[in-house]
Structures are given as C-alpha cells and as structure tokens.
Amino acid sequence: MKSDQTNIYPTFDLFNSRKDKEKCLSQKSRCIWMTGLSGSGKTTIAVALQRELYKLGFLTQVLDGDNIRSGIGSDLDFSVESRIENIRRVAEITKLFLNCGIITINCFVSPTIAIRNIAKDIIGVDDFEEVFINTSFEECEKRDVKGLYKKAKLGEIKNFTGLDAPFEKPTGDHINILTENRTVEDCAKLLLQSILPKITYNE
C-alpha cells in the first residue's frame, strides 16, 4: 500500500547539485547494474572492478544482494512481490548515491527483464548500465560456492532462479561479460574498458 504523500515536502532543490558533487570528485556517477545467476561471479567481479577503479582514483559503492538482504531487505522473502520490493529499495538507494556523485556497482540476480526495468525506470535510463555476467547454469552449479544449488535441488530452497524460477537474459542494450574460460581479473578489465569513458569527468 502506497503511503499518504500529502504532508511530505521534499527539499532536494536546496542541496548542492549532483553536477557540483561530480565536479568535486572529478568523476561522473553511474549505476553499473550486474545481473546473472547465483554464483555467476557478480560480486567477485564487482570487488575486482572496485579495486581497479580505486587505483584510478574513482569513488565507488558496491551494493550486493546478500548484504542488502541482511539489512534493509531483511524483512523480505524470495517471492515475486518481495523481489520487486527489494529491487525498488535498492534502486532508490542507488539514486541517492548517484546524486552524491558516487559510482554504484550493483550485484543482484534481478532475474527478469520486468524487474530490471523497474530499477532502470527509478534510476533513469541514462544512468543505468546493465551488465550481464554470463555464466551458464551448469557452471554456476559446478561452482556452488554457497551450496545453494544443492539445497535447491533437494527442495530446501523454493523459487530458486534458473531451476524453478525463471531467469531472463538481457535483450536490450547491455554489456555482456562471458566469464567461462576467463579469470576474474580479465572480466573486471573488460568491464572497466566498457564503462571508463562513461564515468570519466570532462568539465
């Protein structure tokens, strides 16, 4: 249920602008939205990308699915409704970081095109860089670093993406990072090459 907005008076126009903050940080803020199956390498690549960006002097914030669900999303389950609400919250948080001039690297399964479009609509198309961490179900199952695939196949986890819940690959404009037969560092450098022109500040 949507809350009553009658007595809410936003004051965004009183603060320093995003442009001012980007100038202060000498970077352009942007959302790097990584989607892919559980175990595909989203967070691992995000960590490597963050380190590369840090070396180059960029300020970033990684928003990771497990971290979010242990905090602001701790009241949510994995139903379709909760997944949508989780992504909505993340998108709103991302907007705040972008307004501060900070580059966000978001790691979320976000399994359907519709769910990712919710995030894109909130964040804004021009600020949303969709990245498909392209790893096959078989490879993710082989890695199974969290033991989730085994639990899902035993029926201990319901609505598991790729097994009994759908995953829809990106179809529109996106960056495709095929991870198999590539190191984490190689994947991060490929991604860095794609996003660097879009976050480099030119006054």
Q: Which of 17, 26, 110, 194 is catalytic?
A: 110
H runs (alpha helix) in the chain: 18-25, 42-55, 65-69, 80-99, 113-123, 137-143, 148-153, 184-199
110 is catalytic: yes
CA angle 123, 179, 55 (to 5 degrees): 65
**All residues at 6 or more sequence positions from 154 whose CB lies less than 8 Å from its CB, including other chains:** none
Single-letter amino acid, residue 164? D
Angle separating helix axes 80-99 and 18-25, nearest 10 degrees = 70
* CA pair distance 124, 126, nearest whole angstrom: 6
Instruction: Please give the positions annotated as active site.
Output: 110
